Structure 1
Amino acid sequence: MKRRTFLLGCAAAGLSIGFAQAQTQNPAKLRVALLPDENASTLIQNAQPLKKYLEDTLKKEIELVVTTDYSSMIEAMRFGRIEVAYFGPLSYVLAKSKAPGIEPFAVGVSKGSPTYKSVIIALADGPVKSIADIKGKIMGYGDFASTSSHLIPRAYLARNGLVGDKDYKFANLGAHDAVARAVQSGQVQAGGLSQEIFNALVAKGTIDGKKLVVLAESDPIPNYPMVMQGNLAPELKTQITSAFIGLKDPAILKTFRAEGFVATDDKAYDILRDTAKILALDLSKFKG
């Protein structure tokens, strides 16, 4: 009996030590994930200045990660395969529902505001001239877990009496740029995506702005959050937060389509949870 008690005591102590260690992780390498909303190789290339900045500031090796899609990014965060991630608002909410310990700590600021908008676009000379014309057509969305390329435009249409798979068909095309190209090519008759990304695609010449028209824009949406694992060592969390809040280099901030970062918390994203209810989306059952 004494031997059994001793072994159980050792096991309990081991679990306690393991738990304590899990709460004070301070790895030599930080894996930083970028939101897979555009071509992966382009994202990695454009983020090299960010990698150097973080290595110099945090004195750690930085590995940039771009997962295949939003779902795999959520799962990577859930199972501790990345330490820091740049999430879309909805993909963060989905990740938080699966990994309650993760923490948003900074949010991008654009034009002086920690918010952005979604737009619904169509071909300028196509069959869709107004939101009402989307009825009976095909609507292009990005990833299911995308805020501005799925949740917000889909909710906008619902508020205007158009329900997906009832009043119109829709196709999930993955990335925002894929949605814009699909609308321009006529593959879909309308599409939803981030206003910032749409403007950037036009500016770069990826799509022809003269061939497309913006049918509607959303109300402000809380911007993309930077998120970290909650079990990182407190001093490391402080250093990571300071690194992003103190980031001033425009060339690096361009990676995030932001002018800077300010502090944020989980409550800022309750509006996404409320919007999901409009569409009767059970976020806890999302299979990321």
Structure 2
Amino acid sequence: MKLFTTTALALLVASSALAEGWQDDYQVLKFGILSGENEQDRIMRNDPLRAYLAETLGVEVEIFTAGNYDGVIQALAADQIEIARLGSSSYAAAYTATNGGVVPTLTSEKMDGSTGYYSIVVTRCDSGIENLEDAAGKVHAFADPDSTSGYAVPYFNMVNLEGFKPEEHFGTVTFSGSHEAGVTGVVNGTFDTAATYQNNDADGVFQRMEDKGMIDAGLVCKIWESPEITSGPWTFRGNLPEALIEDVTAAIEAFPTADPEGYKLYSSWTAEDPNPDTGFMRVNAERYEWIVEMREWIKQERRSGS
């Protein structure tokens, strides 16, 4: 009887602690995902994670999408969502919009231990454009003003590495609205070139579009690649309870081993990818300081018009 009483007391204490946890105040968690691909595919890829988090954390979990990157950033800044999977530049935008009131915790890690990817510029293979010099006077599309690989990194490198300002080099500079829209515009002839991203030559936006049957294989070719970019972070509002941030971070961290098939869908795994995502690595704000500074440089560059 004494053992039963002790055990029952321990269970009661544990139950009371759980009842007093962050779940009482946050019975619904919303995480935002950026508009790198069409909404149907975004939701399909992220739904296994949503279901896993709901079961693991014991709360309702919802996916939040928006028509552009800024919609997710502003939702985070306005306390409309708790978490967002951001690119490096969109994290920097959220950091600025909240005066540093966001917390990055995890980024994707690949099989070889790397945590980066690349901005690329693509064109139709039959366009006759083989490099950025050939694209002078043509129509170029960046993806979104808050995209790392689709705008910030290629713009910065075009000025500082390639030696030209996009507004002066290309005949027309525009935004496609998303990575897939940029590639589609190149295929359809709306744009001569477009900025997007890839992890390697077997896995990137246009390669995934080929795999999904959205475009025919062999139509799109890469003509430029950036230095490696730090992958963006899972980002939390800084005004959330520390226990919530840690519990959700730990749950996402465990997702690849807890639900391997769900993780494969989430990470767009393919057997052909020589270096697929295999999990997550912990990060902090210091890792993205250079991105914040790069965005500020671009902002000043655009304001000066020089």
Asked if these proteins are the same fold (TM beyond 0.5), I'd say yes
1:161-193 deviation per Cα after TM superposition (whole angstroms, max 9, x unaligned): 231221212110111011111111111111110
Residue type at the aligned position of 2:195? G
Report the Cα offset of residue 132 of structure 1: 0.5
Report the Cα offset of residue 110 of structure 1: 2.7
In structure 2, what is the equivalent of residue 252 of structure 1? 262
Is the aligned partner of 1:68 residue 2:67? yes
Aligned mates of 1:80, 1:108 — CA distance in 2: 25
Secondary structure of 1:91's aligned partner: helix
In structure 1, what is the equivalent of residue 289 of structure 2? 270
Report if the CA contact (8 A) 1:106-1:241 is conserved. yes
Residues 115-264 of structure 1: matches in 2 within 5 Å? 115-158=116-159, 159-168=161-170, 169-195=172-198, 196-248=204-256, 249-253=259-263, 254-257=265-268, 258-264=277-283
Could you list the runs of 5+ residues in structure 1 that have no partner in the other structure?
1-22
Aligned mates of 1:262, 1:26 — CA distance in 2: 28
In structure 2, what is the equivalent of residue 104 of structure 1? 104
Is the aligned partner of 1:85 residue 2:88? no
Report if the CA contact (8 A) 2:89-2:295 is conserved. no
Residue type at the aligned position of 1:109? E
Aligned mates of 2:241, 2:295 — CA distance in 1: 33
Change (3 A) 1:85 1:282: farther
Secondary structure of 1:148's aligned partner: helix
Report the Cα offset of residue 75 of structure 1: 0.8
1:129-173 deviation per Cα after TM superposition (whole angstroms, max 9, x unaligned): 211112111111111100111111222322212312212121101
Residue type at the aligned position of 1:185? N
Report if the CA contact (8 A) 1:247-1:261 is conserved. no
Aligned mates of 1:157, 1:209 — CA distance in 2: 28
Report if the CA contact (8 A) 1:77-1:95 is conserved. yes
Aligned mates of 1:151, 1:31 — CA distance in 2: 27
RMSD of the alignment, in Å?
Answer: 2.1
Change (3 A) 1:175 1:250: farther
Aligned mates of 2:125, 2:73 — CA distance in 1: 36
TM score, norm. by length of structure 2: 0.79
Aligned mates of 1:125, 1:43 — CA distance in 2: 30
- What percentage of residue pairs aligned between the two structures are identical? 25
Change (3 A) 1:38 1:74: same
Aligned mates of 1:203, 1:183 — CA distance in 2: 17
Report the Cα offset of residue 225 of structure 1: 0.8
Residue type at the aligned position of 1:255? Y
Is the aligned partner of 1:281 residue 2:292? no
In structure 2, what is the equivalent of residue 36 of structure 1? 35
Aligned mates of 1:277, 1:136 — CA distance in 2: 27
TM score, norm. by length of structure 1: 0.84
Secondary structure of 1:47's aligned partner: helix
Stretch moving more, 78-87 or 127-136? 127-136
Aligned mates of 1:247, 1:189 — CA distance in 2: 40
Aligned mates of 1:191, 1:87 — CA distance in 2: 21
Residue type at the aligned position of 1:245? E
Residue type at the aligned position of 1:157? M
In structure 2, what is the equivalent of residue 15 of structure 1? none
Report the Cα offset of residue 25 of structure 1: 8.8
Aligned mates of 2:24, 2:299 — CA distance in 1: 34
Report the Cα offset of residue 276 of structure 1: 3.2
Report if the CA contact (8 A) 1:26-1:233 is conserved. no
